[in-house]
Each structure stands twice: as C-alpha cells, then as structure tokens.
Structure 1
Amino acid sequence: MSSNVNLIHHKETVLVPLDNTNKVPFADFIRQKCPHLYGPEATFRQTPYLFNGHLQTGYASIYKGTPSMDDILYQREYLGMEDGGEIALDWFPALPDEKDTLIDTPTLVCLHGLTGGSHESYIRGILEVVTAAPFSYRSVVINSRGCGKSELKTPQLFCGAYTEDARVAFKRIARQMKPGTPLIAIGFSLGANILVKYLGEEGDQAPVTAAISVANPFDFVRSSEYLDGSLIGRNVYSAAMATNLKNLYTLHEDMLIKSDKVRKEEVMAATTLRQFDEAATRRIFDYASVHDYYFDASSSRKIEHIKVPLLCLNALDDPIAHHECLPVKEVEANPNVVLATTPYGGHIGWFEHFQRPSRWMNKPLVEFITAIFQAHDQRTHIDPADVAATVETIEHDKGLA
C-alpha cells in the first residue's frame, strides 16, 4: 500500500532564498528541493505488515534504530533556569574546546516527544545523516526537565503549554552561533507542539531560520476528546502515555513530593492521560482545569503569528495526533506555513521496507533541512546532486533499501 503526499498552504507563500541570488515562494522551494514531498518520488510505501496507523505507531514504540545510530555520542551541557530548574542540551558533534569560539556550522535544534529525550530513534535517525559527510552539520537536542536521564532540580516537570524553557534554550544556542549562521528547529509530537507554540509567541523575534513540526497534535482539547472517545484510544494510547508519565513521576518522586500541589496517590491512580493531567500537570502549572490547560497548550492557536518558514508533517491515520485536529484553515491563512500530509504513517512511524523497516520521513525531512541550510550557509556549498542521493545511499549501505 502506498500514499501520496498532499501539500496544504497559502495561495501566495512567503519568499525564501533558493540560493545566493534567487528567492522563490516557500511552497515552490519545497517542490523544487524536496522530491519526497512533491513529484513522482513523493510516495510513501508502508511496510506491508504495518498496514495501518495502529501498527505503524506500535512498531514506532519498540523500534530502536540501527547500530550506526549508536555512533552519535552527545556532549551534555546543563542550562539553569531562573526558578532553579535545569534542562540538558545534548550536542553532536561536541562543542569546540575554546569556550569563546562561536559556531559557524549550520545547526539543527531538536525537541523530543512526551517523556522522550536525545536517545530517541526518530531523532538519531535524522542526526546520523545531517551530521555526516557530505553535510557535516551540527545538532543539539533540548531535553525537557527530568528527561534524557537528567536530574530534576525543582518540583516541576514539563507540559505542552510551557515554552519558557525552550525560549531560554534557543537564546543560549543562538548566542553560541556566529552571526548569520542558520538554525533550524525540529520538534516531534509534544515537542512539535511546544515548538510551534513558541514560534507563534516569538513572531519575527524567533532566532531560527526555519522550523519543522512532525506529528503535532495541534489541538489538545479536540485531541483529548478523540483519544478518550474510543476504546483503543483510551485503553491503549492514553493509558500508555499515562504510564510513561507515572514512571517519570516515580523516577523523580523525591523532588516532586516537595510540592504541596500534587498528591502521589492521585497521580498513581491515573489510568489515562487526561487523568494524569488532572492529578498532576494542570496543578503543577496552576491551571483551573484540564480544559484550561489543553486550550492554552494548543499550538494551533498560535500558527497565525508564526513568521519563519515552517514545514509540518502529519499522517492522516495518526491515532494520537488525530487528523480532525489538523489546523488546515490556520495554515492556509499564513504564508509562512506549509502542511504536508500522508494518508498513512501512524504517529512518528512512516516505516517502509519489508526487512528491517526504516522511517520514510527521514528522506523528506533531510531534504528540507539540507536545502534550507544550503540556501543560508555562508561557507562552502555542497553539490546538490549529493543532497539528493545521500539518504538513499545510507539506507542501501545498511541493507534497508
């Protein structure tokens, strides 16, 4: 079974650099530079035995990646917040030894999903390509509080509405860049929602050249309704996310119990995501109700204010980021945003090939990342022919193609 990519956007998208001398509309940039998003190659052929969104999503939850991903060895930098909290920035390759040396290498900034971290295969699968030759770009993963094996310093974790940690992280990363060096931000699932909300809040002050949102739920209110409205949504996906959050709570219990806002017995009794958010999230972040939290967290409300080129990728059979929650009208109203959808793919799945499945999404995302970097990179440019062949070559070498 295969599916074609559909592009949704404003009638006249914003002009973006195609190279050193020419600019084209953002949608045309994607059509020219991302053959896996537009044209005869823009087809996702899912693994035959992963033939629906549930199977794709289930496989994503157990997929550990390829052995070559283990070659990504991060250098960790801890970043403190004004409230005493702390997040971890994982750099690859490592930062220069000289502390005052500014980075002139185009850099990809990654935000992970719920309870995830820099170890996730959906992050490392892209990093192993863009940080390798011929690109040799740099990357940094923003690990949310308490995630990525980091210590929790205050009785506060993270949530889909809270963007201040990301704001501080982006400012820190931007200060380490040589002026004019391009930054691209990419977020996955919850991280995509936080990123899009942050970009909308920052407007034209966002310190990134472009951004990517992958499997974003966009509308937390409606997503929660769809999730709890079906047996499999409530008893499988919502229950699994609640379990992951409870495990994270248990891991950091010694710190979290210092807050009088949350009761452990209520947290551990939660069997769905909404119940966990009622017992913990909305109380930690001082929302009057879960609905108030979900409304404030919904990044779809901020899309109209985004001022940087943003590519969104979602699968229409995603059982977690439901297709009815896609902000089609908001995207069509903002010339800075393009939404690419596929009929199949699940939640951060998009697995193709029969033996040793790998993620199709890496192809269009790497094409977009490298094309944006090439258009803004002030250093030596890469032959465009190398860009088109790199992902296919890597998969062939792994025996995946």
Structure 2
Amino acid sequence: MAGFRPAFGLGGAHRQTLAAALLPAPRPPLARERFELPDGDFVDLDWHRDARGPAVLVLHGLEGDSRSAYARRLLAALARCGRRAGVLHARGRSGEPNRLARSYTAGDTDDLACVLARLQQRDGRAPDVVGYSLGANRLLKHLGEAAGRAGIRRAVAVSPPFDLGRAADRLDRGLSRLYQWHLLRSLRAGYRVKLAQHPQALPLGADDLDALKTFRSFDDRVTAPLHGYAGVEDYYGRCSCRPFLKDIAVPTLIVHALDDPFLYADAIPTPAELAPAVRLELAAHGGHVGFLQGLSWPAQDWLARRIAAFLDASD
C-alpha cells in the first residue's frame, strides 16, 4: 500500500492493533440523534456536535461505540476537513439496552438501510459511510446486496473480516486469543443484561454462558438462534461479506493488512472477486484497525487521513 509505513517500534501486528486501541485519541463533543425502526426498536447516532458539512456515517466494530479510539480519531479528522461525521451504533451499543430480545450481528443491513434512506431524504444527498471491522463487513454486505441502490455516495471499509469462519478460527489461535477473550467477556456481559430483560426469549441460560469460550461456540449457541440462523455455519455463510464484493456499484475503498491478527491472509479476496468500483489497498503490516505512523495524535493518524482523501475524491 503506497504511503503507509509503520511507526518505528510498531511494526508488528499486535503492536499496531493494541497501540491503535490504547494510545490517546481526541474526544470530540457529541450530540445524539435517535432513529426509530419499523420493528419497534431503535438505533442511536452520535454526531460530532461542532462539525458542519456533508454527512459521513461511521460503523463501529464488534462491541465498539462512539467512544472507540478509531471512531474518535476519524470524527476529529473529518471535522478538520469540513465534514460532519457521526457514529451509528448497532442495537444495544449506545449505552442504553435496545427494546427487543435480539441484538446485532455481522450481517445486519436493514437498520443501516433505514437510516441511510432517512438521511438522504432529509439532507437531499446520499452520505458517505466508513465501516471498521465488523461494521466494515456490514457495510460491504449492504453495498453488494443493494448494488446501485445502496444510498451511499462513497464507502470505506477498514479491516473487514471477509470470511467470518476464518476470522473465528484465527481468533482462536496464538496471541489472538487475547482479543477473543476480551470481546467474549463483553458479549457475555451484554447477554446477561438481555437475560434480565427477556428471560423467556433467549436461547441460553446464565448457567451455560461461561462455557462459551470461543466466538464459534458463542455464535452457534447465542448469535445464530437468537437471530434466526440454523447454526454457526449458516450464520457465517450468509453474513460474510466476501461473496457480495463482486456486486458493489458504489466507489469503495478497502484498507486491510496482511498481518491482521483477526483474520487469516487466505481469506482476503482476490482481484477477480472485486467489482470494478472496489479498490483494495493491502499493507504488509498494519494489524487490525491499526495503520499507525506515529506515537502521538495527529501524527499517528495515517488511516484517518487516507479515509478523508478518498471521500474527498471526485466520482
């Protein structure tokens, strides 16, 4: 990938991944907007309160939200470029439990499509959208499903898990199990909140929850049955974004690293799998949602600058 060189001392996949999550990031002021959904639930969108300009939606990763460091860096960077960006939370991730028993998945696109349609109607133009990790998977799946009717002007996907099964396998190997442990702890905690709200509607009791030590087991026993999938393989097969890439019609940039500790490199799509509208930029090093070129903000923020440059390009 032209232009990206890891910061000295941050050449490894895990160093990039952890530094991007733990280094200080700006804290832009936020203003919340709620969108009621057709099924009686809701999603919340946290806008940069002081920014003005064309809208950019940001889709967070698994268990992320508007407080995630990558989201805060991007909101601040886009504000400097004359863009008003906001983080669209998946159901239940805005700090307030959603109303229904269901949660969110890697393949949810209906909520995104609903918000996009309302923003386009209100603003008179389609917004740009940036997705990170699981949010990148949702974005790419939506783009492929909708083709030319996506309701998006330009799109950027960062570190998408192109194949959810291969991602689950990678996260159960070596040091990547630390990320799996951290994220599963958050998922189990969220599920316990759900149990208190909807004890009769959930597929698993609290006594069995701690036995789920891998993403594959959690998705098989919780995510899949809760959201209408026959099992984990059905869920992964229907929600992985890789098969949808050939149908994307919107100008789309994918930024990914070969050393991403969340995904095996053999899951990265070949050029033949990409629609002409899709540009895949691969870095040898960059980790998962990393791509840091410095140890202080904004010097570290190569990724946000690359995103802003792509969104500012003419169609």
TM score, norm. by length of structure 1: 0.73
- Residue 191 of structure 1 aligns with which residue? 135
- Residue 320 of structure 1 aligns with which residue? 262
Residues 251 and 278 of structure 2 are in contact (CA less than 8 Å); yes or no, is this contact kept in structure 1? yes
- Residue 185 of structure 2 aligns with which residue? 243
Relative to structure 1, is the Cα distance of residues 141 and 258 closer, same or farther in structure 2, using a 3 angstrom cutoff?
farther
Residue 344 of structure 1 aligns to which amino acid in structure 2?
Answer: H
Picking from 272, 279, 294, the partner of 1:353 is: 294
- Residue 108 of structure 1 aligns with which residue? 56
Residue 181 of structure 2 aligns to which amino acid in structure 1?
Answer: A
Relative to structure 1, is the Cα distance of residues 81 and 355 closer, same or farther in structure 2, using a 3 angstrom cutoff?
closer
- TM-aligned CA deviation for residue 279 of structure 1: 2.2
Partner Cα distance (1:286, 1:157) in 2: 12
Q: Deviations over 1:91-146 (max 9, x none)?
A: 22379xxxxxxx9x4211110000111121211212212213xx322122210111
Partner Cα distance (1:73, 1:314) in 2: 29
- Secondary structure, counterpart of 1:186 in structure 2: strand
- Which 10-residue stretch deviates more, 44-53 or 284-293? 44-53
Residue 343 of structure 1 aligns to which amino acid in structure 2?
Answer: A
Query: What are structure 1's unaligned runs of at least 5 residues?
Result: 6-36, 96-102, 377-401
Residue 140 of structure 1 aligns to which amino acid in structure 2?
Answer: G
Relative to structure 1, is the Cα distance of residues 358 and 252 closer, same or farther in structure 2, using a 3 angstrom cutoff?
farther
Relative to structure 1, is the Cα distance of residues 107 and 297 closer, same or farther in structure 2, using a 3 angstrom cutoff?
same
- Residue 224 of structure 1 aligns with which residue? 168
- Residue 16 of structure 2 aligns with which residue? 56
Residues 255 and 281 of structure 2 are in contact (CA less than 8 Å); yes or no, is this contact kept in structure 1? yes
Q: Deviations over 1:146-179 (max 9, x none)?
A: 102133211111010221111111112212212x
Residues 261 and 284 of structure 1 are in contact (CA less than 8 Å); yes or no, is this contact kept in structure 2? yes
Partner Cα distance (2:79, 2:180) in 1: 35
- TM-aligned CA deviation for residue 330 of structure 1: 4.5
2:67 corresponds to 1:119: yes
Partner Cα distance (2:199, 2:105) in 1: 18
Aligned pairs, how many?
314
1:171-210 map, 5 Å = 171-178=117-124, 181-210=125-154
Picking from 151, 155, 169, the partner of 2:97 is: 151
- Secondary structure, counterpart of 1:280 in structure 2: helix
2:238 corresponds to 1:296: yes
User: What percentage of residue pairs aligned between the two structures are identical?
Assistant: 28
Residue 113 of structure 2 aligns to which amino acid in structure 1?
Answer: R
Relative to structure 1, is the Cα distance of residues 317 and 77 closer, same or farther in structure 2, using a 3 angstrom cutoff?
same
1:378-393 map, 5 Å = none
Residues 182 and 209 of structure 1 are in contact (CA less than 8 Å); yes or no, is this contact kept in structure 2? yes
Residue 313 of structure 1 aligns to which amino acid in structure 2?
Answer: V
- TM-aligned CA deviation for residue 62 of structure 1: 2.3
Residue 170 of structure 2 aligns to which amino acid in structure 1?
Answer: Y
Residues 119 and 127 of structure 2 are in contact (CA less than 8 Å); yes or no, is this contact kept in structure 1? no
- TM-aligned CA deviation for residue 252 of structure 1: 4.1
Relative to structure 1, is the Cα distance of residues 138 and 278 closer, same or farther in structure 2, using a 3 angstrom cutoff?
same
Relative to structure 1, is the Cα distance of residues 185 and 260 closer, same or farther in structure 2, using a 3 angstrom cutoff?
closer
- Residue 211 of structure 1 aligns with which residue? 155
2:20 corresponds to 1:74: no
TM score, norm. by length of structure 2: 0.92
2:41 corresponds to 1:85: yes
- Residue 338 of structure 1 aligns with which residue? 279
Residue 231 of structure 1 aligns to which amino acid in structure 2?
Answer: G
Relative to structure 1, is the Cα distance of residues 288 and 325 closer, same or farther in structure 2, using a 3 angstrom cutoff?
same
Partner Cα distance (1:354, 1:167) in 2: 37
- Secondary structure, counterpart of 2:243 in structure 1: helix
Residues 79 and 88 of structure 1 are in contact (CA less than 8 Å); yes or no, is this contact kept in structure 2? yes
Relative to structure 1, is the Cα distance of residues 258 and 370 closer, same or farther in structure 2, using a 3 angstrom cutoff?
farther
Residue 48 of structure 1 aligns to which amino acid in structure 2?
Answer: F
- Secondary structure, counterpart of 1:352 in structure 2: coil
Residues 130 and 136 of structure 2 are in contact (CA less than 8 Å); yes or no, is this contact kept in structure 1? yes
Q: Deviations over 1:319-371 (max 9, x none)?
A: 10332211124444x11101001100100111222566723212211211222
Moved over 6 A (4+): none
1:236-315 map, 5 Å = 236-315=178-257
Q: Deviations over 1:292-313 (max 9, x none)?
A: 1011111011111111111000
Relative to structure 1, is the Cα distance of residues 85 and 55 closer, same or farther in structure 2, using a 3 angstrom cutoff?
same
- TM-aligned CA deviation for residue 200 of structure 1: 0.8
Residues 254 and 279 of structure 2 are in contact (CA less than 8 Å); yes or no, is this contact kept in structure 1? yes
Partner Cα distance (1:125, 1:260) in 2: 36
Residues 193 and 218 of structure 1 are in contact (CA less than 8 Å); yes or no, is this contact kept in structure 2? yes
- Secondary structure, counterpart of 1:269 in structure 2: coil
